[in-house]
Amino acid sequence: MNNKQRVEIRDGSINDIEAAYNLVVELAVYEKEPEAVTASLENYIQDFNDGIFQFLVAQSGNEIVGIAIYYMTYSTWKGKMLHLEDFIVTQQHRRKGIGELLFNAFVARARELDCVLTRWQVLDWNQTALNFYEKIGATIDKDWWTGKLYL
């Protein structure tokens, strides 16, 4: 990471929701699905206040440059786990080590919560992300398909 750039990883708060929402929209554009974001900022505010999800932020100066949105879930085979829903570092701050700091903080949070497992999804074409996960020793399970039912 650039020595001039100090990055703080901290818990996200209600004051960070708009920045987190904007990063999710940026991710959707990167993943070539900007129209797929149908949750509104108001949904994010309500759901955060209701404890549906939590998040970590990577902050450089006054700017939020990355987020990790997660929630508690359960593996019937393994036990308590933390699901990483979205993990984003804004385009201009990638390849500076911020993603690794943010991901490590997510893993530390899972350990603090006595989770036995973390889980997330990655697109098969996102080679940069796949390389990152491989580097940290993660297993990418290609045997399971994701099911969805929109309500």
> Which pLDDT tens digit goes with each residue over 48-76?
999 999 999 999 999 999 999 999 999 99
Domain range list for the chain: 7-135
CA distance linking residue 72 with residue 32, whole number of Å: 28
Lowest mean pLDDT among 2-6, 35-39, 55-59, 77-81: 2-6
Q: Which of 21, 44, 74, 133 is catalytic?
A: 133
Write down the pTM of the prediction.
0.89
Q: Is the CA virtual torsion 104, 110, 115, 121 positive or negative?
A: negative
| H/E run at residue 76 | none
Three-state secondary structure call for residue 117 = strand
CATH code matching the domain that covers 7-135, chosen among 3.40.630.30, 3.50.50.60, 3.20.20.140, 1.10.630.10: 3.40.630.30
Verify whether residue 133 is a known catalytic residue.
yes
Pair 107, 84: CB distance under 8 Å: no
| 10-29 pLDDT tens trace | 999 999 999 999 999 999 99
